[in-house]
């Protein structure tokens, strides 16, 4: 037993030394970060905050949203569209007397055919009006 006790104690001391080294390095990094954070903030000129053109800011924000969301309206919504495993491709329909038949394909056809938001009957014109 004395034979195995010696390597374990040297292994423990090596792990302890490594742990203390990592702890010291972490403390040094955190200390440097807090010292940098303690620096005085640079004050902004007050008159630059009062001279904001709201119309230009709104136009710039709308332009950024338009360019950011425009491509998203053309992405295919259903990743399984036009495949044999698309769960939305299953439909159910019925017809009562001589009324027009009603079914779930009226709702899901745009998605199962690989449509995007711009292709949907209600959301498509809305997105084109907002982003176009």
Instruction: Supply 111's token pair.
Output: 């998605």
- Does position 35 have pLDDT exceeding 60, yes or no? no
pTM score:
0.40
- Does position 2 have pLDDT exceeding 60, yes or no? no
Q: What is the pLDDT of residue 99?
A: 92
Q: What b/e sequence results for 66-105 when a residue is b if at least 16 CB atoms lie within 10 Å of its CB, and e otherwise?
A: eeeeeeebeeebbeebeeeebebbeeeeeeeeeeeeeeeb
- Does position 55 have pLDDT exceeding 60, yes or no? yes
At 42, is the pLDDT very low, low, confident or very high (cuts 50, 70, 90)? low
Determine the average pLDDT of the residues in 110-118: 82
pLDDT digits (tens, 9 = 90+) for 65-106: 777 777 777 788 888 888 888 887 888 889 999 999 888 887
């Amino acid at each position: 037993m004395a034979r195995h006790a010696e390597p374990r104690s040297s292994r423990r001391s090596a792990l302890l030394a490594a742990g203390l080294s990592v702890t010291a390095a972490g403390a040094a990094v955190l200390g440097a970060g807090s010292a940098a954070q303690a620096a005085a903030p640079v004050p902004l000129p007050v008159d630059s905050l009062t001279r904001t053109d709201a119309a230009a800011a709104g136009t710039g924000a709308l332009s950024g949203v338009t360019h950011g969301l425009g491509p998203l309206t053309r992405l295919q919504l259903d990743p399984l569209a036009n495949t044999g495993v698309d769960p939305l491709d299953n439909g159910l329909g019925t017809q009562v007397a001589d009324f027009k038949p009603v079914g779930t394909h009226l709702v899901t056809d745009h998605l199962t055919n690989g449509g995007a938001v711009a292709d949907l009957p209600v959301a498509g014109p809305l997105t084109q009006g907002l982003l176009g």
